[in-house]
Amino acid sequence: MEFSYCLRFLLLIACLSPALVECRVRRYTFNVVMKNTTRLCSSKPIVTVNGKFPGPTLYAREDDTVLVRVINKVKYNVSIHWATVHGAIVILPKRGVPYPFPTPHKEVVVILGDYESFFKNKFSVNCGHYDAEIGIEILQFSIAAEWWKSDTEAVINQALKSGLAPNVSDAHTINGHPGTFSTCPSQGGFTLPVQSGQTYMLRIINAALNEELFFKIAGHKLTIVEVDATYVKPFKTDTILIAPGQTTNALITTDQNTGKYLVAAAPFMDSPIAVDNVTATATLHYSGTLSNAATTLTTPPPRNATAATMLDETNFPPLQLWAVKHQGSSPPIFIDHHRSHSG
């Protein structure tokens, strides 16, 4: 009898464990601080979160509650917002404190997600969702952004006084690094280490302010599987165009010869508007490649390559819409592969 009770207890724990694991409250602290950073062979203090550039990564699963405590330790009034499928989520001032915030603003708590859903479900444990597991390894984010040698506060103040657009940036970056420049050959770019014969997922983010960017990896095709948190019918391409604030998940299979392959991010602009026309570079580095091996190069489309942006819109419908279009067939929902995580 005692064994039977123990067995029932273990079965109860086993049934509850997925819910307990699936639904979590995740807490993060953002310390907004200045940090001296060197790019393009020159240094300047920049605003960072937790002293990191690019900033820290928040990990969460669907239906988790994410609480972020933000502490501003710099002399500027700082705005932090998240671009989400529900729209931008911004930090509001403390109750009773009018805008603009006092300097420095102290601390607030931010809930990432849908406020209504949060308050409805905050006490529920039945919020587990299973990841669709496929045979891939998730690489760290590939973030395309910009770098100014000048103080960015001075750049925006000059633009406000003149009424003109801000001066263009001095370089684009991939994960915070511009890449190798002839004017600064000693400073290398970001490296993506990979193993041969594997499939990886790249989470690509355009963190530039105003510029659409082409993203390309020499000798490799990218399979687009998700755009802005919406699954799409997978399709292959050698070049991605990604808008400011947009995210794209792409699969890449390392099926080429061992070596180093150039990763490039360059602007798209089909109007006579000044843009930073400098291409950011990184390296896809196969394990076992000799340090002196030559890098396989690639060239992104010209900045006014409108034809390169005209992908067939049927590549982009969500999976459910695609299923309806294809005789009502449903997308796959059963787990049949396993996924390994890195980082």
pLDDT for res 331: 55
Q: What is the pLDDT of residue 137?
A: 57
Q: How far apart are the first and last CA of the chain?
A: 46
CA distance 88 to 65: 17
Secondary structure element (H or E) that encloses residue 319, with its range: helix 319-325
Which pLDDT belongs to residue 108?
28
pTM of the prediction? 0.70
Which residue, among 136, 254, 256, 266, has the nearest Cα to 193 in the 3D structure?
Answer: 254
Interior CA angle at 114 toward 113 and 117, to 5°?
A: 120
Quote the pLDDT of residue 218: 95
> Which phi and psi (to 5°) does residue 13 adopt?
-60, -40
Q: Which pLDDT score is estimated for 6?
A: 56
Show the domains of the chain with their CATH numbers: 26-125+141-325 (2.60.40.420)
Low-confidence ranges of the chain (pLDDT < 70): 1-22, 83-142, 181-182, 185-186, 271, 303-343
Q: How many CB atoms lie within 10 A of CB 63?
A: 17
Q: Output the furthest CA–CA distance in the chain (Å, rounded).
A: 84
- What b/e sequence results for 314-330 when a residue is b if at least 16 CB atoms lie within 10 Å of its CB, and e otherwise? eeebebeebeeeeeeee
Give the three-class secondary structure for 283. Answer: strand
Question: So what's the pLDDT on residue 196?
Answer: 92
| pLDDT tens digits, one per residue of 142-153 | 677 888 888 888
